[in-house]
Amino acid sequence: MNPQEIADRVVDLVAGRAEAHVNVLTGPSALTRFANSFIHQNVAEEQLEVSLTVAVDGRVATRSGSRIDALEELVESALEAARLRPVDPEWPGVAPPEPIADFGRYDPETASAEPARRAEIVRDFVQAAPQLRAAGYCSTSADRLGFANTAGHRGEVGRTVAILDGIHQTDASAGKAHRASARIADLDGSDAGAEAARLATGSADPADLEPGRYQVVLAPECVATVAVFLAAYGFNARAHIEDRSFVRLGSRQFDPAFSMWDDPEGGLGFPVDVEGTPKRRVVFVDRGVSTSLAHDRRTAGLLGADSTGHAVPGGAQFGAFPTDLVVGPGDRSVEELVGSMERGLLVTEFNYCRVVEPKSLVVTGLTRNGTFLVEDGRVVGAVSNLRFTQSFVEGLAEGAVLGVGSVCRFADSELGPTLVRAPAMRLASWNFTGGARG
Amino acid sequence: MARRAVEAALAGGADYADARVVVLRHQSLSARNGDLDSLVDSEQAGLGIRALHGSSWGFYAVAELGNAAARRAGERAAEIARASAMVSGPKMPLADVPVVTDRYETPHQEDPFSISTGEKADLVVGVTDLLRETEGVALARAGVTFWDTEKWFVSSQGHEIFQHLVESGCGMSAMAVGEDETQIRSYPQSFGQFETGGYEVVRRWDMPSAAPRIAEEAVALLRADPCPSGEMDLILEGSQLALQIHESVGHAIELDRILGWEAAFAGTSFLELPNLGSFRYGSDLMNVTADATLPGALGTFGYDDEGTPAQRVDIVREGVWVGVLSGRDSAALAGVNPGGMVRADGYNRLPMVRMTNVGLLPGSGSLEEIIADTRRGVLMSTNRSWSIDDKRLNFQFGCEIAWEIVDGRKGRMLKNPTYTGITPRFWASLDRVAGEEEWVHWGTPNCGKGQPMQVAHTGHSAAPARFRNVRVGVRA
C-alpha cells in the first residue's frame, strides 16, 4: 500500500468513533559517512511510520507505530487511551479540507540514488585535498507523506533531499563545506571539498585571542543558528502565549537590515504540516519590526488566529516551528563585508549553542571550523575557537547590523540542515567570553 | 528472522554480520497548568542488520517482520558495505568477545505499562495543580515516560541473545515569569530523572512531596540577587555534577571520537591514546568508572548491541586516565579490551559507542560538611544550560539556582548562576566529594550523537562535590 492508502485505511478503521488525523511517512533514507578520509559507516533504511491522533469527545491521544500489519491494534489502542484521559480544553479539531500545493520537489534521480552514487560524491570531496583528513556525510532521502482525517482532508506529498556536509582537517584546524538540495545532481563533491580545504589550511596555525567584544562577520551557518533560535524561542506562538518570548509584535526589535520569514515554496520541507494544514508564507521580521508568530491549530485557536501550517511533532508541548526559514539577503559580497571591518572576527560556524536565559535569548556557544582575525579589512590570521555568551536579540538590535551578504543559501544550523537559507552578516558587536585558556 | 538476515549478508560477501530485531514500546504523558497536554504511545518494530566488509560497516533496516524482508535487508547491508570500497581505508578488525546464548531482563517491580493511563494522568495533572498553588507560578509542568524494549541479537559468530529492558522516569518544573526574564525550578533534575526499573521509580521520587518547595524557589528566584562574577569555590549538587561528568568525561573518553570517527559532527577529544595510563585528568579524588552493571542506573543492561557482556571498566583512577568507552572495532584498533559500550537507538540505527553509567565514585562526608568547610563560594543546583567545545575542553554550564556560601554557611539565594572552565584544570581542582549516602545514579535520557542522529539513555552516578577557584558568573 502507498502512504495515502494506509492513511485512508486507518481513518476507515476509526469508523466514526472519534475525530482522527493520521500521517504516514514512507520512503528510502540513506547516509554515507566518512572519517579519516574513508567511508566507515554506510546506512540505509526503508522508513515506515504511522502516526494517529484521535479525539473522543475532546479527549485526545496520539499513537504511532511502524507495523503495517497492526493497524487495527494501533487504532483501538489510541481510542482506548483517549477515553481514559481528561478532556483537552485546547483541542482545536482536525484540519478542514484545503488544497495542498505541490512544489515539485521530488527528484527521481535522488530517490533512486544507490550507495555507489553517494560514494562518488564522497570520493570527490576527499580527493579535493588528499593531503588533509576528511570527514562528513552524504545523504539522500525520498520521503512520501500520506495523510487523511475525519473531516475529509486527505492527500499525499513527496520530497527528496540530498546533503553533502564535510570537513577537511589539518593537525590544528578544520574547514567545513555544506550543500543541500532537492537534487543529488546539485552536489559537487570536488567544489565542496576544495572550499573545506581552503578554510582548513587557512586556519592551520591559529593564535589565541583575548576574549572580549568584537565586530564579527558571521558566515551563513552562524546566521542560520541565530535564526532557528529566534524562531523556536521567540516567534513560536506557544512561547508568546506563555510570556516566555522576547517578541513584541509591532515593535522595532531588530535592525532595519534584518528580515526573516518562512517560505515553504523555496524550502526543502513538506508543503503541509503534521496537522494537515498547508504551510503558509509568514513574515516574522519585516525590516527590523516583529510582525507575526508561527502557529499550529492549538495556538491559533487560543489567540483567535489561523494556523500558519507550522505544527510539528510534540507541538502540543513545545509549540510551532517554521522549517523553511529565510534570512533576507542584502547587497554585499562576503569580501565586502570583511573589507569594511576595521578589526573583528570572521566566524565560519557556531557549535554547541544552548540558551542561558530564554526570554532575553542569551545563548552560549563556541566557534568552530575556521575563525579568523580581520584587521584593516583583511584576514590577517586564524584564531583558536572562542566561546561567546550573547543575547541573539541584542546582537541584531537597531544599529547592530552593519551589512548583509547577497548570497542566501541552505546553511547547516544548530538544529540541523535544510531548515534555513541564510546570507553572511556583519554585526557591530559579539560578546566572546572565553577562549582556549578558559 | 535475524538469522536469515545474517545468512543473506554473509552470502553477499560480508566478512561479519549481526542483526537485531527490536520491538520498542514508549509512552509519555505530560501535563501543563492542570491539563493533560500530551498522551503519546508508540510501538516501533523492525530489523536492523550491519555487515562488515573491509574498512566499512554497511547497515540496512526494515520495518517489516518476516523472513523475506530479513533476507532483503541482509543482502542490502552487504551491498552497501561493498560500495564503500570506492573510498576505502584499512581493514576494520574486530576484537574477540565471548560467543554466548543468553537472556537478560531488567529487574523491576511494577510493569509501567500495566499501570492505568488514568492513574498516570491523575498524577501529572495533580502535580501541576500543586505547583500552581504557589502564587507567582506561571507555568507548571509534569510528566512521566516509560520504555519497554525487547530485542533479539544474532551474529555470524554464533551469538543468540534476548533482552527485555524496562526504563521509567518522571519530572516536573515550575516557571515564574518576570519583566525580562524567566526563572525555573525542576525536580528531580532538569528534564526529569530516569532509571532502569518499573513504575516504582516514579513512586520513589514522589513528585507531590517536592512540589511546594520547587514552586516557592522558582518564584523566589525572580527576587534573588544575580550570581556574582569572579573566581571562587564551587560546590555542585549531584545532578549538575552528573551532567558535568557526562559532558567533560563521558564524551571525551569515547574511543570513536578519539579515533576521529565523529570529527565532523560530535567532534573529537582532547585525549590522545598514547597518553592512556599516564595523563592526569584530575585530582587524586577523581575516580571514574563506566559500569553497565549498576542496579537501577539508566545505562544498565545485560549485553550491548554487539553481544558483549555488560561490565565495569575503570576510566580514571586517582586522577589518572586509564580507560575508554569502546566497541569491538574501536577496541581492536586501539589495542584495548572491548568494553561492551556499543548501542543503537532503535532497530533502524547503526550501533555506535555510547556511554553506559559513567560516574564519579563517592568520597566521604556530606554536602552539609562540605558547606561548613567552605569559606567563600557558591553552591549550584540543577542544570539549566550546557555547552562544551568539540574537543570536550572548554565548557560553560548554567544552573537553575545557587546559594552563596560565606564562612561555612549557606546564605542568600542567587539567580542565573553560571560557571566555566577547561576540563583537566577543572577536575584538578576537585577537593571534596560527598559519601555514598548522597551518591545517586542520575539518568540522562537525551544524549545525542551520530548521523543520522541517535538519542541514548545514559547514567551518571554522582554525589555533591567541591571544586576550588572556579570562574563563575559569566554574563552576556
Which residues of chain A from 23 to 42 reach within 8 Å of chain B, CB to CB? Answer: 29-42
**Grid-cell match 549538587, residue found:** B237
List the single residue in A31, A84, A351 with the smallest CB-CB distance to B389: A351
Burial-class residue A134 by CB neighbours within 10 Å (0-12, 13-18, 19+): buried
Tens digit of each residue's pLDDT (9 = 90 or more) over B273-287? 999 999 999 999 999
Measured between alpha carbons, how far is B126 from B132 in angstroms, rounded to an integer? 10
Measured between alpha carbons, how far is A304 from A325 in angstroms, rounded to an integer? 24
* Residue A164: predicted pLDDT: 98
pLDDT tens-digit profile, chain B (476 residues): 999 999 999 999 999 999 999 999 999 999 999 999 999 999 999 999 999 999 999 999 999 989 999 999 999 999 999 999 999 999 999 999 999 999 999 999 999 999 999 999 999 999 999 999 999 999 999 999 999 999 999 999 999 999 999 999 999 999 999 989 999 999 999 999 999 999 999 999 999 999 999 999 999 999 999 999 999 999 999 999 999 999 999 999 999 999 999 999 999 999 999 999 999 999 999 999 999 999 999 999 999 999 999 999 999 999 999 999 999 999 999 999 999 999 999 999 999 999 999 999 999 999 999 999 999 999 999 999 999 999 999 999 999 999 999 999 999 999 999 999 999 999 999 999 999 999 999 999 999 999 999 999 999 999 999 999 999 999 88
Q: What is the DSSP string of B193-227?
A: EEEES-THHHHHH-HHHHHHHHHHHHHHHHHSEEP
Element (H, E) at A117: helix A115-127
Asked if the Cβ–Cβ distance from B476 to A368 is below 8 Å, we say: no
Q: Are residues B212 and B239 in the same domain?
A: no
> Is A368 in contact with B390 (Cβ distance < 8 A)?
yes
- What distance in Å separates the CA atoms of residue A269 and residue B209, rounded to the nearest whole number? 45
Do B211 and B290 lie in one domain? The reply is: no
Final residue of a structural domain among B223, B257, B283: B223
CATH of A3-200, one of 3.30.2290.10, 3.40.630.30, 3.20.20.80, 3.30.70.260: 3.30.2290.10
Q: Name the residue range of residue B425's domain.
A: 226-472
Residue A435: predicted pLDDT: 87
CA distance B234 to B227: 12
Which ranges in A234-342 belong to alpha helices (H)? 237-241, 297-303, 315-318, 334-339
- Number of other CB atoms surrounding residue B393 within 10 Å: 22
- What is the number of domains present in chain B? 2
Closest CA to A366 of B448, B270, B400, B392: B392
Say which residue the cell 533512486 belongs to. Answer: A112
Assign 3-state DSSP to chain A and report helix, strand, coil percentages, each to 5.
Answer: 25, 40, 35
For position A327, what pLDDT does the model report?
A: 98
In terms of domains, do B98 and B241 share one? no
Distance CA B471, CA B252 (A): 22
Q: Which pLDDT value is given to residue A84? A: 85
> How buried is B44 (Cβ within 10 angstroms: 0-12 exposed, 13-18 middle, 19+ buried)?
buried
Whether residue A364 and residue B398 make contact (CB cut-off 8 A), yes or no, is yes
Helix A3-14 × helix A71-83 angle, to 10°: 50
- Distance between CA B156 and CA B152 in Å, rounded? 14
Q: Is the confidence at residue A437, as pLDDT, over 80?
A: no
Cα separation, A237 vs A253, in Å, equals 17
Query: How far from the centroid of its chain's Cα atoms is residue A29's Cα?
Result: 18
- Burial of residue A68 (number of CB atoms within 10 Å: 0-12, 13-18, 19+): middle
B283 and B245 housed in the same domain: yes
Handedness of CA A413, A418, A424, A429 (dihedral sign): negative
Joined together, the cell numbers standing for residue A86 give 481528561
In terms of domains, do B164 and B43 share one? yes
Residue A1 binned pLDDT confidence (cut-offs 50, 70, 90): confident
Domain boundaries, chain A: 3-200, 206-438
Could you give the ipTM of this predicted complex?
A: 0.95
Return the closest-CA partner of residue A324 out of A357, A284, A286.
Answer: A284
The domain boundary, picked from B172, B196, B223, lies at B223
Asked if pLDDT for residue A316 goes beyond 90, the answer is: no
Given an 8 Å threshold on Cβ–Cβ distance, is B416 in contact with A356?
yes
**pLDDT computed for residue A85 by the predictor:** 86
What's the grid cell of residue B223? 527576587
Which residues of chain B neighbour A90 with C-beta distances below 8 Å? Answer: 35, 37
Cα gap B233→B239, rounded to integer Å: 18
Asked which of B223, B240, B272 is the last residue of a domain, the reply is: B223
Q: B101 and B241 in one domain?
A: no
* B-chain residue closest to A35, CA distance: B261
Looking at the structure, do residues B262 and B204 belong to the same domain, yes or no?
A: no
